[in-house]
Structure 1
Amino acid sequence: MPQTSSGPVLQLLASGLQRWVRSRCDSVDELNLALQGSAVELLRGRLKGVSLEARRLSFDQLPLMRAELQSGELKTLFRPGQPSQPVQLKEPFTIRGEVVLSGTDLNKALATDRWRWLADLLAEKLMGLSPLRSLEIDNDRLVLTAEVITGTKPVQGSFHLCADQGTIRLNNWKAEGKFLLPMDPSIRINDARLQGGQLVIKGDATVQP
């Protein structure tokens, strides 16, 4: 796992960045952060990058089992006189890496008010029905179950997924048709796959400080 960089200046910066990362998340159980660069570079207002590994975290009410991220160069303002925020990030920066979600956690997230719209959109676009009752990851298949208004037996469908055009594409397991997930323009998905009951996503994003 990444370790906090040595040296008092870099340790102060690492501590400040950890607090900033935690402030952007709903919760984080485990967070490890390492800096690439030197105190001299930091005092000149730049840092080569930051690597981060977190486990059991929630971001925007989306629970993640694991996140491994690497940033590009950071332009910083070092403020040793303000221990609560010893570093200020001056400009947007890029990150790239991998996040992992369990099928169980994803199913729970889609039932929340925050993500219910996405659950129903999936059911409507992929199955022609709404609302979505549940989501399950079965090996390399995404299994969706949707309610039927008449109260008859719920309808179930199986789907592949992959990265396509900077987002995630879902294909029906047996029939024609595909659906591209709506994606934040600051995020680009480069790889997406299902394995062992988990959704693994690789991509990059631009972060506003």
Structure 2
Amino acid sequence: MPQTSSGPVLQLLASGLQRWIRNQCDSVDELNLALQGSAIELLRGRLKGVSLEARRVSFEQLPLLRAELQSGALKTVFRPGQPTQPVQLQDPFSIQGEVVLSGTDLNKALATDRWRWLADLLAEQLMGLTPLRSLAIDNDRLVLTADVITGTDPVQRSFLLCADQGTIRVNHCDAEGQLFLPMDPSITISDARLQGGQLVIKGNATVHP
């Protein structure tokens, strides 16, 4: 993804922003930035925005296949004398965009200590059973499997997802009941859908550097 503006100052900013983004993530395989603005604006402490495209990202132990994000205006302090952090971001800023997760990766994430609470919440609130054995995405449906204490065959149920009230609502396919997933107050979900074994989420968030 090419930068909208070039030159040594903006190249230094792009390098600094890439470093900052990678430091926020557990791992990033591929990361591309496009800057909206000019060197003059940067030297005045402001940039119109940044477009980001990343692939195979792990953020807080949540593996993302793809992320496409656009930031709002950024306030910056340019510090060319500090090569390890040539640009410092100031004040919270907004981002909006789309992230994609595979059902396989999501299932693995729910088995980690970081996200086990969410697996337990899904199983208990939607199925009345714990622990959750597995999660899978079958076309446009979320399939949850949980074990039964008596040792009989595990219970499997299907659910649909949608965005509602700024978060993700999980609905039973064949029964009454729903669950609103707890969401960080700085994040608002505008669209959520299942397709082709993947979870696609659109939304916006406020980032505090």
Per the shorter chain, which TM-score range?
over 0.9
> Where do 4+ consecutive residues of structure 1 move more than 6 Å?
none
Aligned pair count? Answer: 209
- 1:137 equivalent in structure 2: 137
Classify the secondary structure of the residue corresponding to 1:83: coil
- 1:80 equivalent in structure 2: 80
Q: Aligned-pair distance for 1:149? A: 1.1
Q: Structure 2 counterpart of 1:41, which letter?
A: E
Whether the 8 Å CA contact 1:169–1:179 is kept in 2: the answer is yes
- 1:101 equivalent in structure 2: 101
Query: Aligned partners of 1:162 and 1:2: how far apart in 2?
Result: 34
Please, which runs of 5 or more residues in structure 1 have no aligned partner? none
Using a 3 Å threshold, how does the CA distance of structure 1 residues 5 and 150 change in structure 2: closer, same or farther? Answer: farther
**Pairing 1:173-192 to 2, within 5 Å after superposition:** 173-192=173-192
- 1:45 equivalent in structure 2: 45
Whether the 8 Å CA contact 1:69–1:97 is kept in 2: the answer is yes
Query: Aligned partners of 1:72 and 1:3: how far apart in 2?
Result: 16
Deviations along 1:19-51, one digit per CA (max 9) or x if unpaired, are: 000000000000000110000000111000000
Query: Aligned partners of 2:87 and 2:110: how far apart in 1?
Result: 36
Deviations along 1:119-170, one digit per CA (max 9) or x if unpaired, are: 0100001011110000000000000000111111100000000000000000
Q: Aligned-pair distance for 1:2? A: 4.6
Query: Aligned partners of 2:169 and 2:208: how far apart in 1?
Result: 26
Using a 3 Å threshold, how does the CA distance of structure 1 residues 8 and 199 change in structure 2: closer, same or farther? Answer: same
Whether the 8 Å CA contact 2:5–2:38 is kept in 1: the answer is no
TM-score (normalizing by structure 2): 0.98
Whether the 8 Å CA contact 1:134–1:146 is kept in 2: the answer is yes
Q: Structure 1 counterpart of 2:53, which letter?
A: E
Q: Aligned-pair distance for 1:83? A: 1.0
Whether the 8 Å CA contact 1:130–1:147 is kept in 2: the answer is yes
Matched, 1:157 2:157: yes
Q: Aligned-pair distance for 1:4? A: 7.6
TM-score (normalizing by structure 1): 0.98
Residue identity (%): 85
Whether the 8 Å CA contact 2:141–2:160 is kept in 1: the answer is yes
Q: Aligned-pair distance for 1:6? A: 1.4
Query: Aligned partners of 2:138 and 2:27: how far apart in 1?
Result: 28
Q: Structure 2 counterpart of 1:166, which letter?
A: G
Query: Aligned partners of 1:198 and 1:57: how far apart in 2?
Result: 15
Please, which runs of 5 or more residues in structure 2 have no aligned partner? none
Q: Aligned-pair distance for 1:3? A: 4.1
Quote the RMSD (CA, aligned, Å): 0.9
